[in-house]
Amino acid sequence: MPSHSHDDPPTPDTSAPGAGPPANRLDVVCLGNALVDVLASAKDADLMELDLVKGTMALVDHERSAAIYDRMGATTEASGGSAANTAAGVAALGGRAAFLGRVADDLFGQAFTHDIRSIGVAFDPIPTAAVPGKVVSGHCLVLVTEDAERTMATHLGVASEFGAVDLHDGHLTSTQVVYLEGYLWEQGPAKAAMREAIETAHLNDAAVALTVSDPFCVQNHKAEFLELLNGDLELLFANEEEAMMLFGVSSFDAAVDAVAETGVLAVLTRGAQGSVVVTAGGPLAVPAAPVGAVVDTTGAGDLFAAGFLYGITNGLSPEDAARLGGVCAAEVISHVGARPLADLRALAVEAGLFG
Amino acid sequence: MPSHSHDDPPTPDTSAPGAGPPANRLDVVCLGNALVDVLASAKDADLMELDLVKGTMALVDHERSAAIYDRMGATTEASGGSAANTAAGVAALGGRAAFLGRVADDLFGQAFTHDIRSIGVAFDPIPTAAVPGKVVSGHCLVLVTEDAERTMATHLGVASEFGAVDLHDGHLTSTQVVYLEGYLWEQGPAKAAMREAIETAHLNDAAVALTVSDPFCVQNHKAEFLELLNGDLELLFANEEEAMMLFGVSSFDAAVDAVAETGVLAVLTRGAQGSVVVTAGGPLAVPAAPVGAVVDTTGAGDLFAAGFLYGITNGLSPEDAARLGGVCAAEVISHVGARPLADLRALAVEAGLFG
């Protein structure tokens, strides 16, 4: 397996300034759970009653998903899925993105496919035949509390069957970055598919990025994630809490030191405090972008990753890429839903990041 | 058929101040198409290319609906349906509302049922067995242009089969007002059901209200709507354009005169210019409620009707009821989607309409 480090920039094309990527090369291929978000307002007391931990994502079976849904207020449905939101963000910035995931041929699967394609992301799934109430597309119940925090209960449905058959070689062999969702690490066939994707990426000079996704993912897969940092990954995304859990340290500074030792480019997000980019040259703190009223934090991390990935695959320094991540995250938390509504490209230009 | 007029107040309970309605009596039963809205941003040029007339609703078949959907950007799904939005608004104000409509047992039908019940509206449908791509719940493609105007293409699906079997006697015999959606007048079985509902309502001392819904409904059913004004209706909702079309006059003042002659209480809405309530005592102009940025006018008329209906069934004068209608309409046009997000009751209190 090829070994990449900071001497080996994660994005081959930025190492050849001016040359630019081949016209048909993708910026990012994202692998993740294809989910439709089902959003409703909720109170803290509702979360307690439903036994949900605020700010986290829980995997639930069909029965529990139905029971939570029954207790939710009026909902809005919109396409979601962490890595899918990231792909949508890259496309909204003008980038070339593809998504790999599994849907069923039901209304949720059709809406997911329509929405991600309509924003310009390449997505060519092999839909599983749906059986109402049994074989369904994945969906994520999102309870948005008054403090704009989101708490999620995901019923994966057919997304849990994502595997090697869903990989699209045409995409994986022609991209600058392959981006993996930590949530997928819960599932055996998905894990095997990701291992295969890592190999294909490296054979084709692509960098591999991982988001650890959620504290529970770090808890469940800590050893494997640490192992991936030893040669499989060129780029790591984690928030403050996840980074501390991953390295088993009790301060953010210690997490920064620990990730620096791995030699992997890392972006650690800290909510309103912005982010820290850990490069071979040391850590760089990047302030958060200004935001008006925070309405719904769903998708904040996903859109941060979109801005960063678009940035580093399109000529920005890691620091400016983190700034762009902040701009994208600020947009998505200013409204309900996990995909951008405003013109991200225009916001990036406004922030002075592109001519 | 009983004859009601202004001497016969449309709301039996307001004629006995202090007595109040029986504890289990509903304020309003709404009959209409059960629809899920599929909303996306669009440009004027998109409407032209898709051959849609801005600001109106077109009925489309499955193929045309699919073709329009394919051309739409990323969508958000949320429960809609004109009379259903009105029922949701009445419930959001603290009123007792029921809805009568037809859904299939697919994801859209399930979401519609969940959403309207979760806001407190009684809805006990007999779902039709769904056949994917063939027998589906109704849905309305809503294209929201930059001027916040909405243009709609509705595929009725099983909503087109709404008929007498969907009437719920327990609701119809125990309500103050029965509210009919003009859109239903397009469908033979629905028309027969509405005739039956009018009779049941009048036998049980309920008032009957009609919204003419859309200019195309007025065009198609002008003679019948005028005939309904002769004894079948106690309350009429129309916007300026619809009222002028209905009475075949070329000025708003002439429309006010014409509706006054019918003796039916009428509320004519004029967008930013507010509304005119036409009572036996003459027309009363009521200004619109203040609104910040207008984001999406979907549901404006529906929520105006909700405020008015809740008002007149809960002790307000027609003038104050129209004011409440304006407050509810202002809320719903300040965000995407046709159902209220804010606490309507609190907004009504803020506007000085309830202690």
- Asked if residue A2 belongs to a domain, the reply is no
Selected for mutation to probe chain A from B65, B69, B114 (highest A CB count within 10 Å) is B114
Section A102-112 average pLDDT: 96
Selected for mutation to probe chain B from A107, A118, A146 (highest B CB count within 10 Å) is A107
Q: Which residues of B touch A73 (CB under 8 A)?
A: 118-119
B91-144: per-residue pLDDT in tens? Answer: 999 999 999 999 999 999 999 999 999 999 999 999 999 998 889 999 999 999
B178-212: per-residue pLDDT in tens? Answer: 999 999 999 999 999 999 999 999 999 999 999 99
Q: A132 in contact with B at a CB cutoff of 8 Å?
A: yes
- Asked if residue A271 belongs to a domain, the reply is yes
Amino acid at B285: A
Nearest one of A211, A208, A200 to A176, comparing CA atoms: A208
| CB spacing of A130 vs B130 below 8 angstroms | no
Question: Is residue B9 predicted with pLDDT exceeding 60?
Answer: no
Question: Is residue A178 predicted with pLDDT exceeding 60?
Answer: yes
Section A59-84 average pLDDT: 95
Question: Is residue B327 predicted with pLDDT exceeding 60?
Answer: yes
Give Dmax over CA atoms of chain A in angstroms: 57
| CB spacing of A78 vs B79 below 8 angstroms | no
- Quickly state the pLDDT bin for B293 (edges 50, 70, 90): confident
Share of chain B above pLDDT 90, in %: 85
- Asked if residue B40 belongs to a domain, the reply is no
Q: A43 in contact with B at a CB cutoff of 8 Å?
A: no
Q: Which residues of B touch A116 (CB under 8 A)?
A: 74
Q: B339 in contact with A at a CB cutoff of 8 Å?
A: yes
Sign of CA dihedral B277, B278, B281, B282: positive
Question: Is residue B50 predicted with pLDDT exceeding 50?
Answer: yes
Q: What is the mean pLDDT of chain B?
A: 92
| CB spacing of A75 vs B337 below 8 angstroms | no
| CB spacing of B118 vs A339 below 8 angstroms | no
d(CA A144, CA A74): 12
Q: A74 to chain B, minimum CA–CA distance in Å?
A: 4
- Quickly state the pLDDT bin for A10 (edges 50, 70, 90): very low
| CB spacing of B75 vs A108 below 8 angstroms | no
- Quickly state the pLDDT bin for B44 (edges 50, 70, 90): very high
Q: B246 in contact with A at a CB cutoff of 8 Å?
A: no
| CB spacing of B75 vs A106 below 8 angstroms | no
- Asked if residue A63 belongs to a domain, the reply is yes
DSSP assignment string, A228-267: HTTTT-SEEEEEHHHHHHHHT-SSHHHHHHHHHHHT-EEE
Section B220-224 average pLDDT: 97
Q: Which residues of B touch A339 (CB under 8 A)?
A: 74
pLDDT at A159: 97
Q: Which residues of A touch B116 (CB under 8 A)?
A: 74
CB A260: neighbour CB atoms within 10 A?
16
d(CA A176, CA A87): 13
Q: Which residues of A touch B341 (CB under 8 A)?
A: 41
A301-336: per-residue pLDDT in tens? Answer: 999 999 999 999 999 999 999 999 999 999 999 988
Please give the C-alpha separations between residue A282 and each of A255, A261, A308, A342, in angstroms, as whole numbers.
13, 10, 18, 34
Amino acid at A14: T
Share of chain A above pLDDT 90, in %: 85
Question: Three-state secondary structure along A273-297?
Answer: HCEEEEECCEEEEECCCCCCCCCCC
Section B342-347 average pLDDT: 93
Residues 199-238 of B with CB under 8 A from A: none
Question: Is residue A1 predicted with pLDDT exceeding 80?
Answer: no
**CATH code, domain carrying A34:** 3.40.1190.20
| CB spacing of A105 vs B132 below 8 angstroms | yes
pTM for the model: 0.86
Identity of the residue in B74, B75, B79 whose CB atom sits nearest the CB atom of A74:
B79
B74-103: per-residue pLDDT in tens? Answer: 999 999 999 999 999 999 999 999 999 999
Question: Is residue B23 predicted with pLDDT exceeding 70?
Answer: no
Amino acid at A280: A
Q: B64 to chain A, minimum CA–CA distance in Å?
A: 16
| CB spacing of A108 vs B107 below 8 angstroms | yes
Contact A172, A203 (CB under 8 A): no
Selected for mutation to probe chain B from A118, A146, A298, A341 (highest B CB count within 10 Å) is A118
Q: B309 to chain A, minimum CA–CA distance in Å?
A: 22
Section A224-253 average pLDDT: 97
For residue B229, give both structure tokens.
């004004």
Question: Is residue B18 predicted with pLDDT exceeding 80?
Answer: no
Which tops the pLDDT comparison, A55 or B6?
A55
Share of chain A above pLDDT 70, in %: 93
pLDDT at B180: 98
For residue B304, give both structure tokens.
């105006």
Section A174-197 average pLDDT: 96
- Asked if residue B51 belongs to a domain, the reply is no
Contact B117, B84 (CB under 8 A): no
- Quickly state the pLDDT bin for B237 (edges 50, 70, 90): very high
- Quickly state the pLDDT bin for A23 (edges 50, 70, 90): low
- Asked if residue A241 belongs to a domain, the reply is yes
Q: Which residues of B touch A119 (CB under 8 A)?
A: 73-74
Question: Is residue B7 predicted with pLDDT exceeding 60?
Answer: no
Identity of the residue in B74, B106, B116 whose CB atom sits nearest the CB atom of A118:
B74
- Quickly state the pLDDT bin for A53 (edges 50, 70, 90): very high
ipTM of the complex: 0.80
- Quickly state the pLDDT bin for B24 (edges 50, 70, 90): confident
d(CA B141, CA B151): 8
Q: Name, in order, each residue with C-beta under 8 angstroms of A261's C-beta and a sequence gap of 6 or more.
A: none
B150-188: per-residue pLDDT in tens? Answer: 999 999 999 999 999 999 889 999 999 999 999 999 999
Amino acid at B351: A
| CB spacing of B105 vs A69 below 8 angstroms | no
Question: Is residue B260 predicted with pLDDT exceeding 80?
Answer: yes
Q: A75 in contact with B at a CB cutoff of 8 Å?
A: yes
d(CA B293, CA B142): 19
Residue A248's SS3 state is: coil
Identity of the residue in A40, A107, A118 whose CB atom sits nearest the CB atom of B107:
A107
- Quickly state the pLDDT bin for A295 (edges 50, 70, 90): confident
Q: A136 to chain B, minimum CA–CA distance in Å?
A: 10
pLDDT at A225: 98
Q: B26 to chain A, minimum CA–CA distance in Å?
A: 21
pLDDT at B22: 54
| CB spacing of A74 vs B132 below 8 angstroms | no
Amino acid at B107: L
Taking phi over 0 as left and psi of -120 to 50 as alpha, with beta for the rest, B244 belongs to: alpha
Q: Which residues of B touch A69 (CB under 8 A)?
A: 114
- Asked if residue A5 belongs to a domain, the reply is no
- Quickly state the pLDDT bin for A123 (edges 50, 70, 90): very high
Section B289-310 average pLDDT: 93
d(CA B305, CA B300): 9
Contact B342, B327 (CB under 8 A): no
- The size of the A-B interface in CB pairs under 8 A is 67
Q: Which residues of A touch B114 (CB under 8 A)?
A: 69-70, 72, 74-75
Range of the domain at B310: 21-33+82-123+161-350
| CB spacing of A132 vs B77 below 8 angstroms | no
Report residue B189 CA to chain centroid gap.
Answer: 19
Contact A76, A39 (CB under 8 A): yes
pLDDT at A5: 42
- Chain B residue with the nearest C-alpha to that of A92: B74
Nearest one of B121, B104, B155, B152 to B340, comparing CA atoms: B121
- Chain A residue with the nearest C-alpha to that of B340: A74
Identity of the residue in A74, A107, A111 whose CB atom sits nearest the CB atom of B118:
A74
- Asked if residue A355 belongs to a domain, the reply is no
Contact B212, B181 (CB under 8 A): no
For residue B125, give both structure tokens.
């449908």
Report residue A51 CA to chain centroid gap.
Answer: 25
pLDDT at A22: 54
The count of structural domains within chain A is: 1
Q: What is the mean pLDDT of chain A?
A: 92
- If residue B82 lies in a helix (H) or strand (E), which one and from where to where? helix B82-92
pLDDT at B11: 44
| CB spacing of B107 vs A105 below 8 angstroms | no
Selected for mutation to probe chain B from A38, A39, A77 (highest B CB count within 10 Å) is A77
